[in-house]
Amino acid sequence: MTNSQPEEVTSSHCVTERWRCYAMQEKYGWRLLRIKPTKDSILKYSCIFEGETSFPNYMDEDEED
């Protein structure tokens, strides 16, 4: 009998500044779990959010011509 727990489903999005993780949380209503530093010189932080996340597709909006 194993004592395994289901794996936590998370999503990550990289940013240039830590405050942008909080901005995404506010804008999209995602729950921010943690911020991890990356080794990238431009996208310095990885924002880890709860569950599956994706950005809305701006191309789906109706354009007025």
Which ranges of 1-65 would DSSP assign to H, the alpha helix? 19-28
pLDDT of the residue at 65: 47
- Per the structure block, which two tokens stand in for 21? 């993780």
pLDDT of the residue at 14: 97
Q: For residues 36 and 54, what is the distance between their CA atoms, to the nearest angstrom?
A: 19
Task: Please state the pTM of the whole predicted model.
Answer: 0.76
Q: What is the pLDDT along the chain (65 residues), one digit of tens a residue?
A: 566 777 889 999 999 999 999 999 999 999 999 999 999 999 999 999 999 999 888 676 655 54
pLDDT of the residue at 47: 98
- Per the structure block, which two tokens stand in for 14? 């990289």
Q: Using the 8-state DSSP alphabet, how is residue 51 labeled?
A: S
